[in-house]
A and B are shown apart, each in its own frame.
Chain A
Protein backbone atom coordinates (compact mmCIF):
# COMPACT_ATOMS: atom_id res chain seq x y z
CA UNK A 1 0.00 0.00 0.00
CA UNK A 2 2.82 2.35 0.88
CA UNK A 3 4.39 1.54 -2.43
CA UNK A 4 1.20 2.49 -4.28
CA UNK A 5 0.92 5.77 -2.41
CA UNK A 6 4.56 6.55 -3.14
CA UNK A 7 4.13 5.77 -6.81
CA UNK A 8 1.03 7.91 -7.16
CA UNK A 9 2.51 10.80 -5.27
CA UNK A 10 5.60 10.70 -7.47
CA UNK A 11 3.31 11.07 -10.48
CA UNK A 12 1.38 13.79 -8.68
CA UNK A 13 4.40 15.95 -7.91
CA UNK A 14 6.17 15.31 -11.23
CA UNK A 15 4.42 18.16 -13.00
CA UNK A 16 2.38 21.20 -11.94
CA UNK A 17 -0.26 20.67 -14.60
CA UNK A 18 -0.84 17.10 -13.42
CA UNK A 19 -0.98 18.35 -9.84
CA UNK A 20 -3.58 20.93 -10.87
CA UNK A 21 -5.75 18.39 -12.63
CA UNK A 22 -5.58 15.90 -9.74
CA UNK A 23 -6.41 18.61 -7.20
CA UNK A 24 -9.36 19.74 -9.33
CA UNK A 25 -10.83 16.28 -9.88
CA UNK A 26 -12.12 14.84 -6.65
CA UNK A 27 -12.71 11.25 -7.78
CA UNK A 28 -9.36 10.83 -9.49
CA UNK A 29 -7.12 9.50 -6.72
CA UNK A 30 -9.85 7.32 -5.25
CA UNK A 31 -10.54 5.80 -8.64
CA UNK A 32 -6.82 5.28 -9.30
CA UNK A 33 -6.51 3.28 -6.07
CA UNK A 34 -9.61 1.30 -6.92
CA UNK A 35 -8.29 0.58 -10.41
CA UNK A 36 -4.93 -0.65 -9.14
CA UNK A 37 -6.71 -2.82 -6.60
CA UNK A 38 -8.99 -4.47 -9.14
CA UNK A 39 -6.35 -4.86 -11.84
CA UNK A 40 -3.70 -6.96 -10.15
CA UNK A 41 -1.87 -4.34 -8.14
CA UNK A 42 1.12 -2.22 -9.02
CA UNK A 43 2.54 -4.46 -11.74
CA UNK A 44 5.11 -3.29 -14.25
CA UNK A 45 2.38 -2.93 -16.94
CA UNK A 46 0.12 -0.98 -14.63
CA UNK A 47 2.95 1.37 -13.73
CA UNK A 48 3.44 2.13 -17.42
CA UNK A 49 -0.30 2.64 -17.89
CA UNK A 50 -0.56 4.88 -14.83
CA UNK A 51 2.41 6.99 -15.89
CA UNK A 52 0.91 7.34 -19.36
CA UNK A 53 -2.52 8.23 -18.03
CA UNK A 54 -1.29 10.85 -15.57
CA UNK A 55 1.02 12.48 -18.14
CA UNK A 56 -1.83 12.89 -20.59
CA UNK A 57 -4.75 13.96 -18.40
CA UNK A 58 -3.85 17.68 -18.57
CA UNK A 59 -4.20 17.48 -22.37
CA UNK A 60 -7.29 15.28 -22.56
CA UNK A 61 -9.30 16.83 -19.78
CA UNK A 62 -9.42 20.11 -21.69
CA UNK A 63 -10.07 18.62 -25.06
CA UNK A 64 -13.84 18.18 -24.96
CA UNK A 65 -15.75 19.89 -27.75
CA UNK A 66 -16.37 23.49 -26.93
CA UNK A 67 -18.49 24.75 -24.11
CA UNK A 68 -21.64 22.87 -24.91
CA UNK A 69 -21.29 20.24 -22.19
CA UNK A 70 -23.11 20.55 -18.90
CA UNK A 71 -20.93 19.96 -15.80
CA UNK A 72 -22.19 16.37 -15.52
CA UNK A 73 -21.25 15.63 -19.10
CA UNK A 74 -17.82 17.20 -18.65
CA UNK A 75 -17.23 14.99 -15.65
CA UNK A 76 -18.36 11.97 -17.64
CA UNK A 77 -16.03 12.92 -20.44
CA UNK A 78 -13.08 13.22 -18.03
CA UNK A 79 -13.88 9.94 -16.36
CA UNK A 80 -14.19 8.09 -19.67
CA UNK A 81 -11.00 9.56 -21.06
CA UNK A 82 -9.11 8.64 -17.87
CA UNK A 83 -10.42 5.08 -18.14
CA UNK A 84 -9.36 5.06 -21.79
CA UNK A 85 -5.83 6.17 -20.85
CA UNK A 86 -5.51 3.57 -18.09
CA UNK A 87 -6.86 0.78 -20.23
CA UNK A 88 -4.75 1.52 -23.31
CA UNK A 89 -1.81 3.38 -21.73
CA UNK A 90 0.66 0.56 -22.02
CA UNK A 91 -0.21 -0.17 -25.65
CA UNK A 92 -0.29 3.50 -26.63
CA UNK A 93 3.07 4.25 -25.02
CA UNK A 94 4.71 1.80 -27.41
CA UNK A 95 3.37 3.44 -30.57
CA UNK A 96 5.36 6.09 -32.41
CA UNK A 97 4.81 9.59 -31.01
CA UNK A 98 2.98 10.87 -34.10
CA UNK A 99 0.43 8.07 -34.01
CA UNK A 100 0.00 8.61 -30.28
CA UNK A 101 -0.69 12.24 -30.94
CA UNK A 102 -3.23 11.59 -33.69
CA UNK A 103 -5.06 9.13 -31.44
CA UNK A 104 -5.17 11.45 -28.45
CA UNK A 105 -6.19 14.40 -30.63
CA UNK A 106 -9.35 12.53 -31.53
CA UNK A 107 -10.54 12.32 -27.93
CA UNK A 108 -12.87 15.29 -28.12
CA UNK A 109 -16.27 13.99 -27.06
CA UNK A 110 -17.90 11.04 -25.32
CA UNK A 111 -18.91 9.64 -28.70
CA UNK A 112 -15.38 9.92 -29.99
CA UNK A 113 -13.98 8.10 -26.96
CA UNK A 114 -16.19 5.16 -27.83
CA UNK A 115 -15.05 5.15 -31.45
CA UNK A 116 -11.36 5.59 -30.68
CA UNK A 117 -11.58 2.94 -27.96
CA UNK A 118 -12.87 0.48 -30.57
CA UNK A 119 -10.17 1.57 -33.01
CA UNK A 120 -7.38 1.00 -30.47
CA UNK A 121 -8.84 -2.38 -29.51
CA UNK A 122 -8.79 -3.34 -33.19
CA UNK A 123 -5.17 -2.17 -33.55
CA UNK A 124 -4.25 -4.17 -30.48
CA UNK A 125 -5.57 -7.33 -32.11
CA UNK A 126 -4.30 -6.48 -35.60
CA UNK A 127 -0.71 -5.26 -35.24
CA UNK A 128 -0.41 -4.39 -38.95
CA UNK A 129 -3.40 -2.01 -38.95
CA UNK A 130 -2.64 1.71 -38.97
CA UNK A 131 -4.68 4.11 -36.89
CA UNK A 132 -6.05 6.12 -39.83
CA UNK A 133 -7.22 3.04 -41.70
CA UNK A 134 -8.75 1.52 -38.61
CA UNK A 135 -10.58 4.71 -37.72
CA UNK A 136 -11.93 5.12 -41.26
CA UNK A 137 -13.00 1.50 -41.40
CA UNK A 138 -14.96 1.84 -38.16
CA UNK A 139 -16.50 5.11 -39.29
CA UNK A 140 -17.57 3.58 -42.58
CA UNK A 141 -19.19 0.72 -40.67
CA UNK A 142 -21.00 3.10 -38.37
CA UNK A 143 -22.23 5.17 -41.30
CA UNK A 144 -23.50 2.08 -43.04
CA UNK A 145 -26.45 2.23 -40.70
CA UNK A 146 -26.67 5.97 -40.29
CA UNK A 147 -27.35 7.18 -43.82
CA UNK A 148 -30.55 5.51 -44.85
CA UNK A 149 -29.97 4.51 -48.46
CA UNK A 150 -32.73 1.89 -48.67
CA UNK A 151 -34.60 3.94 -51.29
CA UNK A 152 -31.54 4.50 -53.43
CA UNK A 153 -30.93 2.85 -56.80
CA UNK A 154 -27.94 0.48 -57.01
CA UNK A 155 -25.91 2.97 -59.04
CA UNK A 156 -26.16 5.88 -56.63
CA UNK A 157 -25.82 3.50 -53.68
CA UNK A 158 -22.61 2.16 -55.20
CA UNK A 159 -21.19 5.67 -55.58
CA UNK A 160 -22.21 6.53 -52.01
CA UNK A 161 -20.59 3.34 -50.65
CA UNK A 162 -17.39 4.13 -52.45
CA UNK A 163 -17.37 7.70 -51.12
CA UNK A 164 -17.84 6.40 -47.56
CA UNK A 165 -14.66 4.39 -47.78
CA UNK A 166 -12.39 7.21 -48.97
CA UNK A 167 -9.56 8.33 -46.74
CA UNK A 168 -9.76 11.96 -47.86
CA UNK A 169 -10.22 13.86 -44.62
CA UNK A 170 -13.02 16.23 -45.53
CA UNK A 171 -15.43 13.62 -46.77
CA UNK A 172 -14.44 11.33 -43.89
CA UNK A 173 -15.20 14.05 -41.39
CA UNK A 174 -18.61 14.74 -42.95
CA UNK A 175 -19.49 11.05 -42.84
CA UNK A 176 -18.08 10.88 -39.35
CA UNK A 177 -20.41 13.66 -38.28
CA UNK A 178 -23.40 11.68 -39.54
CA UNK A 179 -22.08 8.29 -38.51
CA UNK A 180 -21.28 8.77 -34.87
CA UNK A 181 -22.55 7.76 -32.47
CA UNK A 182 -24.49 4.83 -33.78
CA UNK A 183 -28.16 5.73 -33.51
CA UNK A 184 -26.78 9.19 -33.05
CA UNK A 185 -27.90 12.77 -33.27
CA UNK A 186 -28.86 13.00 -36.93
CA UNK A 187 -31.23 11.14 -39.18
CA UNK A 188 -30.21 11.42 -42.80
CA UNK A 189 -31.80 9.74 -45.75
CA UNK A 190 -30.75 9.73 -49.39
CA UNK A 191 -33.30 8.82 -52.05
CA UNK A 192 -33.71 8.72 -55.79
CA UNK A 193 -36.88 10.64 -56.55
CA UNK A 194 -38.26 14.03 -57.50
CA UNK A 195 -36.72 17.19 -56.04
CA UNK A 196 -38.99 19.97 -54.87
CA UNK A 197 -38.23 22.24 -57.84
CA UNK A 198 -39.14 20.75 -61.22
CA UNK A 199 -35.93 22.08 -62.79
CA UNK A 200 -33.56 20.81 -60.10
CA UNK A 201 -31.10 17.95 -60.47
CA UNK A 202 -31.03 17.33 -56.69
CA UNK A 203 -31.86 18.97 -53.39
CA UNK A 204 -31.28 18.71 -49.66
CA UNK A 205 -34.12 19.32 -47.23
CA UNK A 206 -34.15 20.14 -43.55
CA UNK A 207 -37.22 18.12 -42.55
CA UNK A 208 -37.07 18.82 -38.84
CA UNK A 209 -34.41 19.18 -36.16
CA UNK A 210 -31.47 16.88 -36.96
CA UNK A 211 -33.44 15.22 -39.76
CA UNK A 212 -32.41 15.65 -43.40
CA UNK A 213 -33.37 14.29 -46.79
CA UNK A 214 -31.25 14.33 -49.94
CA UNK A 215 -33.15 13.68 -53.18
CA UNK A 216 -31.45 12.99 -56.50
CA UNK A 217 -33.64 13.15 -59.60
CA UNK A 218 -34.69 9.75 -60.87
CA UNK A 219 -34.94 10.72 -64.56
CA UNK A 220 -31.39 12.11 -64.39
CA UNK A 221 -29.96 8.98 -62.78
CA UNK A 222 -31.81 6.74 -65.23
CA UNK A 223 -30.73 8.89 -68.12
CA UNK A 224 -34.18 9.38 -69.62
CA UNK A 225 -33.46 13.07 -70.10
CA UNK A 226 -29.76 12.87 -70.92
CA UNK A 227 -30.00 11.65 -74.51
CA UNK A 228 -31.28 8.37 -73.02
CA UNK A 229 -27.92 7.86 -71.36
CA UNK A 230 -27.30 7.67 -67.63
CA UNK A 231 -24.58 9.88 -66.16
CA UNK A 232 -21.15 8.59 -65.19
CA UNK A 233 -20.18 7.75 -61.62
CA UNK A 234 -18.07 10.95 -61.48
CA UNK A 235 -21.11 13.17 -62.14
CA UNK A 236 -23.18 11.29 -59.55
CA UNK A 237 -20.33 11.51 -57.03
CA UNK A 238 -20.01 15.27 -57.56
CA UNK A 239 -23.74 15.73 -56.95
CA UNK A 240 -23.73 13.53 -53.83
CA UNK A 241 -20.72 15.36 -52.36
CA UNK A 242 -22.31 18.75 -53.02
CA UNK A 243 -25.57 17.75 -51.35
CA UNK A 244 -23.77 16.10 -48.42
CA UNK A 245 -21.99 19.38 -47.76
CA UNK A 246 -25.41 21.07 -47.64
CA UNK A 247 -26.60 18.42 -45.17
CA UNK A 248 -23.42 19.01 -43.16
CA UNK A 249 -24.24 22.76 -43.05
CA UNK A 250 -27.78 21.97 -41.89
CA UNK A 251 -26.22 19.82 -39.16
CA UNK A 252 -24.02 22.74 -38.08
CA UNK A 253 -27.20 24.86 -37.98
CA UNK A 254 -28.84 22.32 -35.68
CA UNK A 255 -25.70 21.97 -33.59
CA UNK A 256 -25.75 25.69 -32.94
CA UNK A 257 -29.48 26.34 -32.56
CA UNK A 258 -30.76 23.02 -31.24
CA UNK A 259 -27.92 20.89 -29.91
CA UNK A 260 -26.32 23.51 -27.69
CA UNK A 261 -22.97 23.76 -29.45
CA UNK A 262 -21.99 27.43 -29.46
CA UNK A 263 -18.88 26.68 -31.45
CA UNK A 264 -20.63 24.93 -34.34
CA UNK A 265 -19.90 27.81 -36.71
CA UNK A 266 -16.23 28.22 -35.78
CA UNK A 267 -14.38 28.35 -39.11
CA UNK A 268 -17.62 28.95 -41.02
CA UNK A 269 -17.70 32.73 -41.34
CA UNK A 270 -20.57 33.05 -43.81
CA UNK A 271 -22.89 30.81 -41.80
CA UNK A 272 -21.87 32.60 -38.61
CA UNK A 273 -22.73 35.98 -40.14
CA UNK A 274 -26.00 34.67 -41.53
CA UNK A 275 -27.33 33.00 -38.39
CA UNK A 276 -25.51 34.50 -35.42
CA UNK A 277 -24.48 38.10 -35.97
CA UNK A 278 -27.15 38.31 -38.71
CA UNK A 279 -24.99 40.60 -40.81
CA UNK A 280 -24.44 38.40 -43.85
CA UNK A 281 -24.57 40.26 -47.14
CA UNK A 282 -23.80 38.58 -50.42
CA UNK A 283 -24.88 38.04 -53.96
CA UNK A 284 -25.56 34.40 -53.17
CA UNK A 285 -26.92 32.56 -50.13
CA UNK A 286 -24.66 31.92 -47.15
CA UNK A 287 -24.42 28.14 -47.62
CA UNK A 288 -23.11 28.43 -51.16
CA UNK A 289 -20.84 31.33 -50.26
CA UNK A 290 -19.38 29.08 -47.57
CA UNK A 291 -18.97 26.28 -50.07
CA UNK A 292 -17.15 28.58 -52.48
CA UNK A 293 -14.90 29.76 -49.65
CA UNK A 294 -13.80 26.42 -48.27
CA UNK A 295 -15.02 23.48 -50.27
CA UNK A 296 -14.27 23.62 -53.98
CA UNK A 297 -10.65 22.36 -53.69
CA UNK A 298 -11.88 19.82 -51.14
CA UNK A 299 -14.52 18.49 -53.53
CA UNK A 300 -11.78 18.21 -56.18
CA UNK A 301 -9.55 16.25 -53.78
CA UNK A 302 -12.41 13.89 -52.90
CA UNK A 303 -13.12 13.27 -56.59
CA UNK A 304 -9.44 12.59 -57.17
CA UNK A 305 -9.43 9.83 -54.59
CA UNK A 306 -12.78 8.59 -55.88
CA UNK A 307 -11.43 8.18 -59.41
CA UNK A 308 -7.64 8.59 -59.52
CA UNK A 309 -5.41 9.10 -62.53
CA UNK A 310 -7.05 12.08 -64.23
CA UNK A 311 -5.74 15.63 -64.55
CA UNK A 312 -6.01 18.02 -61.60
CA UNK A 313 -7.73 20.47 -63.92
CA UNK A 314 -10.45 17.92 -64.57
CA UNK A 315 -11.16 17.36 -60.85
CA UNK A 316 -11.25 21.12 -60.27
CA UNK A 317 -13.61 21.58 -63.20
CA UNK A 318 -16.08 18.97 -62.00
CA UNK A 319 -15.92 20.36 -58.44
CA UNK A 320 -16.56 23.86 -59.77
CA UNK A 321 -19.36 22.62 -62.03
CA UNK A 322 -21.46 21.81 -58.97
CA UNK A 323 -21.60 25.58 -58.36
CA UNK A 324 -22.98 26.24 -61.85
CA UNK A 325 -25.75 28.85 -62.00
CA UNK A 326 -24.63 30.75 -58.90
CA UNK A 327 -23.64 34.39 -59.17
CA UNK A 328 -20.09 33.75 -57.92
CA UNK A 329 -19.66 31.21 -60.68
CA UNK A 330 -20.85 33.66 -63.33
CA UNK A 331 -18.55 36.36 -61.98
CA UNK A 332 -15.55 34.09 -62.00
CA UNK A 333 -16.28 32.43 -65.34
CA UNK A 334 -17.98 34.84 -67.74
CA UNK A 335 -20.05 33.39 -70.55
CA UNK A 336 -17.96 32.15 -73.48
CA UNK A 337 -14.67 32.39 -71.56
CA UNK A 338 -12.39 29.41 -72.30
CA UNK A 339 -12.46 28.30 -68.64
CA UNK A 340 -16.24 28.30 -68.51
CA UNK A 341 -16.51 26.40 -71.77
CA UNK A 342 -14.07 23.78 -70.53
CA UNK A 343 -15.88 23.39 -67.18
CA UNK A 344 -19.25 23.11 -68.92
CA UNK A 345 -18.00 20.60 -71.47
CA UNK A 346 -16.30 18.46 -68.86
CA UNK A 347 -19.41 18.32 -66.71
CA UNK A 348 -21.87 17.86 -69.57
CA UNK A 349 -19.81 14.97 -70.90
CA UNK A 350 -20.11 13.23 -67.50
CA UNK A 351 -23.82 14.09 -67.16
CA UNK A 352 -24.72 12.44 -70.44
CA UNK A 353 -21.81 9.99 -70.77
CA UNK A 354 -21.17 11.37 -74.23
CA UNK A 355 -18.53 13.68 -75.73
CA UNK A 356 -19.18 17.41 -75.44
CA UNK A 357 -17.01 19.91 -77.31
CA UNK A 358 -13.42 18.97 -76.55
CA UNK A 359 -14.41 16.81 -73.57
CA UNK A 360 -14.92 13.06 -73.47
CA UNK A 361 -16.49 11.29 -70.49
CA UNK A 362 -13.88 10.07 -67.99
CA UNK A 363 -16.11 8.23 -65.54
CA UNK A 364 -17.81 4.89 -65.94
CA UNK A 365 -21.50 4.75 -66.80
CA UNK A 366 -23.51 4.15 -63.74
CA UNK A 367 -26.46 2.02 -64.82
Chain B
Protein backbone atom coordinates (compact mmCIF):
# COMPACT_ATOMS: atom_id res chain seq x y z
CA UNK B 1 0.00 0.00 0.00
CA UNK B 2 2.75 2.35 0.98
CA UNK B 3 4.58 1.71 -2.26
CA UNK B 4 1.43 2.28 -4.25
CA UNK B 5 0.84 5.61 -2.58
CA UNK B 6 4.39 6.72 -3.11
CA UNK B 7 4.13 5.57 -6.71
CA UNK B 8 0.95 7.60 -7.22
CA UNK B 9 2.65 10.55 -5.60
CA UNK B 10 5.67 10.35 -7.78
CA UNK B 11 3.50 10.01 -10.90
CA UNK B 12 1.53 13.02 -9.77
CA UNK B 13 4.74 14.85 -9.07
CA UNK B 14 6.10 14.03 -12.50
CA UNK B 15 2.96 15.16 -14.24
CA UNK B 16 2.81 18.26 -12.07
CA UNK B 17 6.35 19.19 -12.81
CA UNK B 18 5.86 18.45 -16.50
CA UNK B 19 2.87 20.70 -16.75
CA UNK B 20 4.71 23.41 -14.84
CA UNK B 21 7.50 23.02 -17.32
CA UNK B 22 5.02 23.29 -20.18
CA UNK B 23 3.67 26.51 -18.73
CA UNK B 24 7.17 27.89 -18.35
CA UNK B 25 7.96 27.06 -21.93
CA UNK B 26 4.83 28.76 -23.21
CA UNK B 27 5.50 31.77 -21.03
CA UNK B 28 9.06 32.09 -22.24
CA UNK B 29 8.00 31.59 -25.83
CA UNK B 30 5.45 34.34 -25.59
CA UNK B 31 7.87 36.66 -23.86
CA UNK B 32 10.56 35.96 -26.43
CA UNK B 33 8.18 36.07 -29.32
CA UNK B 34 6.22 39.05 -28.06
CA UNK B 35 9.34 41.15 -28.05
CA UNK B 36 9.42 40.42 -31.77
CA UNK B 37 5.67 40.77 -32.17
CA UNK B 38 4.75 43.68 -29.94
CA UNK B 39 1.26 43.89 -31.36
CA UNK B 40 0.01 40.53 -30.17
CA UNK B 41 -3.01 41.22 -28.03
CA UNK B 42 -5.01 38.01 -28.20
CA UNK B 43 -4.26 34.34 -27.48
CA UNK B 44 -6.52 31.61 -28.81
CA UNK B 45 -7.97 29.58 -25.93
CA UNK B 46 -7.80 26.27 -27.78
CA UNK B 47 -4.31 24.88 -28.24
CA UNK B 48 -3.16 23.73 -31.66
CA UNK B 49 -2.49 20.04 -32.38
CA UNK B 50 0.47 18.97 -30.28
CA UNK B 51 2.17 16.76 -32.85
CA UNK B 52 2.46 19.43 -35.55
CA UNK B 53 5.67 20.85 -34.07
CA UNK B 54 7.27 17.41 -34.11
CA UNK B 55 6.06 16.76 -37.66
CA UNK B 56 7.67 20.02 -38.78
CA UNK B 57 10.91 19.08 -37.07
CA UNK B 58 10.80 15.57 -38.54
CA UNK B 59 10.29 16.81 -42.08
CA UNK B 60 13.16 19.26 -41.71
CA UNK B 61 15.31 16.47 -40.25
CA UNK B 62 14.45 14.06 -43.08
CA UNK B 63 15.12 16.71 -45.71
CA UNK B 64 18.31 18.02 -44.14
CA UNK B 65 20.60 16.75 -46.90
CA UNK B 66 18.49 17.85 -49.84
CA UNK B 67 20.22 20.28 -52.16
CA UNK B 68 18.96 23.86 -52.06
CA UNK B 69 16.90 24.16 -55.22
CA UNK B 70 15.15 20.80 -54.87
CA UNK B 71 11.98 20.34 -52.84
CA UNK B 72 12.73 20.82 -49.14
CA UNK B 73 9.44 20.52 -47.22
CA UNK B 74 10.49 22.25 -44.00
CA UNK B 75 13.74 24.10 -43.41
CA UNK B 76 15.43 25.75 -40.43
CA UNK B 77 15.30 29.54 -40.63
CA UNK B 78 18.84 30.13 -39.40
CA UNK B 79 21.97 29.79 -41.52
CA UNK B 80 23.76 26.46 -41.93
CA UNK B 81 25.41 24.42 -40.53
CA UNK B 82 22.25 23.36 -38.71
CA UNK B 83 22.25 21.26 -35.56
CA UNK B 84 19.80 18.42 -34.96
CA UNK B 85 19.54 17.77 -31.22
CA UNK B 86 16.55 15.42 -31.64
CA UNK B 87 17.46 12.28 -33.61
CA UNK B 88 15.16 9.80 -35.34
CA UNK B 89 15.01 7.45 -32.33
CA UNK B 90 13.88 10.27 -30.10
CA UNK B 91 11.41 11.45 -32.75
CA UNK B 92 9.79 7.99 -32.77
CA UNK B 93 9.69 7.93 -28.98
CA UNK B 94 8.08 11.36 -28.73
CA UNK B 95 5.57 10.53 -31.44
CA UNK B 96 4.49 7.43 -29.56
CA UNK B 97 4.22 9.38 -26.35
CA UNK B 98 2.05 12.13 -27.83
CA UNK B 99 0.05 10.18 -30.39
CA UNK B 100 -3.12 10.27 -28.28
CA UNK B 101 -2.55 13.91 -27.46
CA UNK B 102 -5.12 15.15 -29.94
CA UNK B 103 -7.59 16.78 -27.56
CA UNK B 104 -6.87 20.45 -27.72
CA UNK B 105 -6.40 21.69 -24.19
CA UNK B 106 -7.81 25.03 -23.22
CA UNK B 107 -5.27 27.61 -22.13
CA UNK B 108 -6.14 29.50 -18.97
CA UNK B 109 -5.33 33.00 -17.86
CA UNK B 110 -2.73 31.76 -15.35
CA UNK B 111 -0.84 30.02 -18.20
CA UNK B 112 0.26 33.45 -19.34
CA UNK B 113 1.26 35.10 -16.11
CA UNK B 114 2.72 38.55 -16.39
CA UNK B 115 1.56 38.99 -19.98
CA UNK B 116 -1.20 41.36 -20.99
CA UNK B 117 -3.13 39.13 -23.32
CA UNK B 118 -6.79 38.56 -24.01
CA UNK B 119 -7.81 34.91 -24.12
CA UNK B 120 -10.43 34.28 -26.78
CA UNK B 121 -12.35 31.42 -28.39
CA UNK B 122 -11.45 30.26 -31.87
CA UNK B 123 -15.05 30.92 -32.91
CA UNK B 124 -14.93 34.57 -31.90
CA UNK B 125 -11.56 34.96 -33.60
CA UNK B 126 -12.71 33.45 -36.88
CA UNK B 127 -15.87 35.54 -36.98
CA UNK B 128 -14.84 38.98 -38.27
CA UNK B 129 -18.12 40.42 -37.00
CA UNK B 130 -17.77 39.24 -33.41
CA UNK B 131 -17.48 41.71 -30.57
CA UNK B 132 -13.89 40.56 -30.07
CA UNK B 133 -12.95 41.11 -33.74
CA UNK B 134 -14.40 44.60 -33.70
CA UNK B 135 -12.75 45.54 -30.43
CA UNK B 136 -9.31 44.27 -31.45
CA UNK B 137 -9.60 45.11 -35.15
CA UNK B 138 -6.18 45.14 -36.79
CA UNK B 139 -4.39 43.72 -33.75
CA UNK B 140 -2.47 40.48 -33.96
CA UNK B 141 -3.28 37.22 -32.21
CA UNK B 142 -1.45 33.97 -31.63
CA UNK B 143 -2.46 30.31 -31.34
CA UNK B 144 -0.06 27.89 -29.65
CA UNK B 145 0.31 24.14 -29.40
CA UNK B 146 1.11 22.21 -26.25
CA UNK B 147 4.88 21.80 -26.03
CA UNK B 148 6.65 18.51 -26.65
CA UNK B 149 9.49 18.05 -24.19
CA UNK B 150 12.40 15.72 -25.00
CA UNK B 151 13.16 12.77 -22.72
CA UNK B 152 16.22 14.50 -21.28
CA UNK B 153 14.11 17.63 -20.67
CA UNK B 154 16.70 19.76 -22.41
CA UNK B 155 14.71 20.64 -25.53
CA UNK B 156 11.16 21.47 -26.33
CA UNK B 157 9.20 21.79 -29.56
CA UNK B 158 6.22 24.07 -29.87
CA UNK B 159 4.09 25.22 -32.78
CA UNK B 160 2.42 28.59 -33.22
CA UNK B 161 0.35 30.54 -35.72
CA UNK B 162 -0.38 34.24 -35.83
CA UNK B 163 -3.45 35.95 -37.25
CA UNK B 164 -5.02 39.40 -37.48
CA UNK B 165 -8.25 40.25 -35.69
CA UNK B 166 -11.22 41.41 -37.76
CA UNK B 167 -9.64 40.84 -41.18
CA UNK B 168 -7.35 38.57 -43.15
CA UNK B 169 -3.67 38.84 -42.48
CA UNK B 170 -1.12 40.06 -45.02
CA UNK B 171 1.61 38.09 -43.29
CA UNK B 172 0.46 35.37 -40.93
CA UNK B 173 3.12 33.09 -39.48
CA UNK B 174 3.04 29.38 -38.81
CA UNK B 175 6.24 27.98 -37.43
CA UNK B 176 7.66 25.32 -35.17
CA UNK B 177 10.11 26.48 -32.55
CA UNK B 178 12.84 24.49 -30.88
CA UNK B 179 13.77 25.83 -27.45
CA UNK B 180 16.64 24.79 -25.25
CA UNK B 181 16.78 24.89 -21.48
CA UNK B 182 19.74 27.03 -20.47
CA UNK B 183 20.24 27.40 -16.74
CA UNK B 184 16.56 27.11 -16.01
CA UNK B 185 15.22 29.38 -18.73
CA UNK B 186 14.06 28.47 -22.21
CA UNK B 187 15.85 30.05 -25.17
CA UNK B 188 14.89 29.81 -28.84
CA UNK B 189 17.39 27.53 -30.55
CA UNK B 190 15.88 27.19 -34.03
CA UNK B 191 12.73 28.03 -35.96
CA UNK B 192 11.34 25.76 -38.68
CA UNK B 193 8.96 26.66 -41.43
CA UNK B 194 7.86 25.82 -44.95
CA UNK B 195 10.20 27.60 -47.37
CA UNK B 196 7.85 26.95 -50.30
CA UNK B 197 5.02 29.18 -49.14
CA UNK B 198 5.22 32.89 -48.65
CA UNK B 199 2.49 35.36 -47.90
Q: Chain A residues in contact with chain B, CB under 8 A?
A: 195-209, 217, 220, 225-226, 242, 246, 253-254, 256-258, 275, 278-281, 283, 285, 287-288, 321-327, 330, 335, 344, 348, 351
Contact = CB atoms under 8 A, between A and B. Distances in A.
A281 B78 CA distance: 8
Given A325-B140, A335-B38, A225 B128 contact: yes
Interface stretch (B17-25, B84-92, B149-157, B164-172): B164-172
B174 A327 contact: no
B103 interface: no
Interface of B: 36-39, 67-71, 77, 79-80, 126, 128, 138, 140, 161-164, 167-172, 174, 194-199
B69 A205 contact: no
B161 A199 contact: yes
Which of A200, A246, A285, A287 gathers most chain B CB within 10 Å? A200
A273 to B, nearest CB: 9
Given A203-B197, A204-B197, A285-B198, A326 B171 contact: yes
A200 B79 contact: no
Main secondary structure of the interface of B (DSSP, over half): loop
A199 B164 contact: yes
Nearest to A196: B197
A208 B172 contact: no
A199 B162 contact: yes
B135 to A, nearest CB: 15
Given A199-B161, A203-B199, A335-B38, A325 B172 contact: yes
B69 A258 contact: yes
A345 to B, nearest CB: 10
Contacts of B140: 325
Contact of B199 (A197, A275, A283): A197
Contacts of A197: 161, 169, 172, 174, 197, 199
Nearest to A195: B199
Contacts of B126: 198
A324 B171 contact: yes
A348 B165 CA distance: 13
Contacts of A242: 170
A322 B39 contact: no
A195 B67 CA distance: 27
Shortest 4 CB-CB distances between A and B: which pairs? A257-B69, A199-B163, A201-B168, A325-B171
Contact of B71 (A204, A208, A288, A325): A208
A117 to B, nearest CB: 32
Given A209-B69, A225-B167, 19 more contacts: A197-B161, A197-B169, A199-B169, A201-B170, A203-B198, A205-B196, A206-B195, A206-B196, A225-B128, A226-B128, A257-B69, A285-B77, A321-B170, A325-B140, A325-B162, A325-B164, A326-B171, A327-B36, A348-B138
